[in-house]
Structure 1
Amino acid sequence: MQQQKSLVSPFRVLPLARLAKGGRWRTEAMRSYGAPVLLWFTRGQGRITMNGRTSGYTAHNAVFIPAGTMHGFEMNSTVHGMIVVFPAGVEEQLSLPDDPVHLRLTDAEQHIELNRLIDAIQTELENGATASDRALLSHAGLLSVWIERQMRGHEVEEPREDASVRLAAAFTSLVEQDFHSPKTVRDYAKTLGVTPTHLSRVCNKACGRPASAILADRVHYEARRLLTETHMPVKDIARALGFASPAYFTRAFTQHTGRTPSAFRRGS
């Protein structure tokens, strides 16, 4: 009998408040995850940006974000909910959507069903019983079916696919691919065949921040993540993110966050 393979990366179900622990940068700064996630907002409201487009969210909104999708969302003390982190690489197996999905759930039965599906995954994670990986994939499969069924209704927010939205999405996709390089907004604009001024104007229109802020957000989110989650020396982080020197990285990081890299690491 063939042995069941372990999942490449673990499922996780966390309260949104725990995701934000350590500072608002953990949710608001532009970044991406290496695995698909589902955000389930049960209380509060704010704005969420995905692929260069900003829209509002309220209570009882579910947002699916594919792996590698740059995003960030406002989260204050009134916002509550859960995040489900799928294992990396299960998208095809579970038939998860290729693009972000924003579901505005108006029916109480939808809320109950989604809570039940998430609770089942959380219970399996806590029990850790035999064949847990297989059980988790089964539960996740039911969750993916639920998402697909909701997408067939009228609860999905369809983004306006005008030229501005497409350009902002293309820019964020390129940034996600190359943020660890020394590329500037001018370099990205040249690749996209537009001027830096036009690119920033489009990004401002689509998500309320200029192209330079999106790029800086992504770079400094990664810097803060490496400072808090690894023991990499500051000079190695600077090199990994495409800075010309550790001194230049320290100046840029301090300007962006108000603290030096070393002070940020000590206070994390």
Structure 2
Amino acid sequence: MKKNGQIAEEALLRDVADIPYRPSAGAPPGIEVLSLADLTARAHGRRADLHRPGRPAFHQLVALRAGTVRCSIDFTTHALAPGDWLWVRPGQVVQFLTPLDRTDGRLIVFPAGFLSGTTDALTGAAGHSRCRRVTPPAGEAAPLDRLLDALVDEYGRLSDLPLAAHIEALRHLLSALLLRFAQVEGSLSPDGAHSEPFRRFREAVEQDFARTHRVEDYAARLGYSARTLTRATRAAAGCGAKRFIDDRVLLEAKRLLVHTALPPAAIGERTGFTHPTAFSAFFRQHTGTTPTAFRELVAGAAARGAGPPAPRRS
């Protein structure tokens, strides 16, 4: 008979399910607004397990009004209480740890590309912002709630406007809501947000981080100097270009360590390292521990019902 710790560890090591954006029949293209109870019913209808780690290819903005929700987003456990918000970006690994059908809350779902380029840039929607629970202060909660109510109301008025006008109204309301939310979350970044070098660099890193970790390679591909990319990345993301690449590599390595049973050598190969020793040295430099030890620590924390230890930043 398996012990609880063994069961928890095996659950962590299951492959992550990729979840494509599949709008419901009758929903306006590009956005859906539903209750958390509706999400549970939809998952049941699609035979999807919300309690299994998944990697959605779309944004999820959660606003909780009653009940409690515990979920794990990229190795961090979040406990949401009434009044809390959470914005999960595409590609982040999500796992709900508690039932949702006993809560009162709204979930806004929309794919990458639905927002305008300006809103994308200002809110960091297209990036890999660290997801965190947000409890808006009293002065910010009311504007957010009003915008959410307006979005919910407009979403329910599909027949009041021509479809194109209805979608545009939803896009503008969602943009206003996310701009307000990003201000509270601390991810609103007007400085450098419109930097073309950074936007192109960010997209290139997402495509090629498993192939090259060198700033010079991205600079040559994009037609910029390495200094220009570093300056643009520091203005937009608060770190240099090399650190930006390394953070993306490290994130993927952690996801694979926690959510798959692949050996560290295979994970190193998947994330662009020619030799296992190079991957192990990189991982230890950025976290203070080995890949195997990190996997064991996270599995042990999950078995105890706690979050993983905070990683060391180099």
Structure 2 match to 1:239: 269
One of 165, 169, 172 as aligned partner of 1:148: 172
Give the match for residue 288 of structure 2. 258
- SS of the aligned residue for 1:37 comes to strand
Q: Describe the shift of the 1:107–1:232 C-alpha distance in structure 2 as closer, same or farther (beyond 3 A).
A: closer
Say whether 1:177 aligns with 2:178.
no
Paired residues for 1:71-220 under 5 Å: 84=107, 86=109, 91=111, 96-97=114-115, 99=117, 100=120, 102=123, 108=142, 110-111=144-145, 114=148, 146-149=170-173, 151=175, 165-220=195-250
Q: For residues 58-84 of structure 1, give each alpha carbon's deviation from its aligned partner in whole angstroms, at most 9, with x where no partner exists.
A: x9998685x469xxxxxxxxxxxx995
In 2: Cα distance, 1:177 partner to 1:12 partner: 34
The correspondence for 1:37, drawn from 60, 68, 73, is 60
Q: Counterparts of 2:171 and 2:86 in 1: how far apart (Å)?
A: 9
Q: 178-187 or 103-112, which moves further after superposition?
A: 103-112
Q: CA deviation at 1:261?
A: 0.2
The worse-fitting range, judged by mean Cα deviation, of 100-109 and 231-240 is 100-109
Code of the residue aligned with 1:108 in structure 2: it is A
* Residues 35 and 85, structure 1, Cα contact 8 Å, conserved in 2: no
1:36 partner SS: strand
Matched residue SS, 2:114: coil
1:106 is displaced (CA, Å) by 5.2
- RMSD over aligned Cα, in angstroms? 4.7
Return closer, same or farther for 1:202/1:8 CA change in 2, 3 Å cut-off. Answer: closer
**SS of equivalent residue, structure 2 residue 58:** coil
Gaps (5+ residues) in structure 1? Answer: 1-6, 14-31, 43-58, 70-81, 119-141
Work out whether residues 21 and 57 of structure 2, in 8 Å CA contact, stay in contact via their aligned partners in 1.
Answer: no
Q: Percent identity?
A: 26
Q: CA deviation at 1:180?
A: 1.3
TM-superposed deviation, 1:200: 1.1
Q: Once the 2 structures are TM-superposed, how far is the Cα of residue 208 of structure 1 from its aligned partner?
A: 1.4
Q: Distance in 2 between matches of 1:63 and 1:37?
A: 6
Q: 1:247 to 1:85 in 2, by over 3 A?
A: farther
Looking at structure 1, the residues matched to 220 and 211 of structure 2 have their Cα atoms a distance apart, in angstroms, of 15
- Distance in 2, matches of 1:204 and 1:41, equals 34
Residue 40 to residue 216, structure 1, CA distance change in 2 (3 Å): farther
Aligned to 1:78: none
- Within 5 A, what are the aligned runs for 1:55-70? 67=90
Does the 8 A contact of 1:180 with 1:240 survive in 2?
A: yes
Deviation, structure 1 residue 37? 2.8
- Aligned counterpart, 2:278: 248
Q: Following the alignment from structure 2 to structure 1, what is the Cα–Cα distance between the partners of residues 167 and 63?
A: 12
Instruction: Tell me the secondary structure at the aligned position of residue 237 of structure 1.
Output: helix
Are the counterparts in 1 of residues 20 and 56 from structure 2 also a CA contact under 8 Å? no
User: Which runs of 5 or more structure 2 residues have no equivalent in the other structure?
Assistant: 1-18, 23-33, 37-54, 66-82, 93-104, 126-135, 153-165, 299-314
Aligned partners of 1:117 and 1:143 also within 8 Å: no
* Structure-2 change in CA distance of 1:172 and 1:114 (3 Å): same
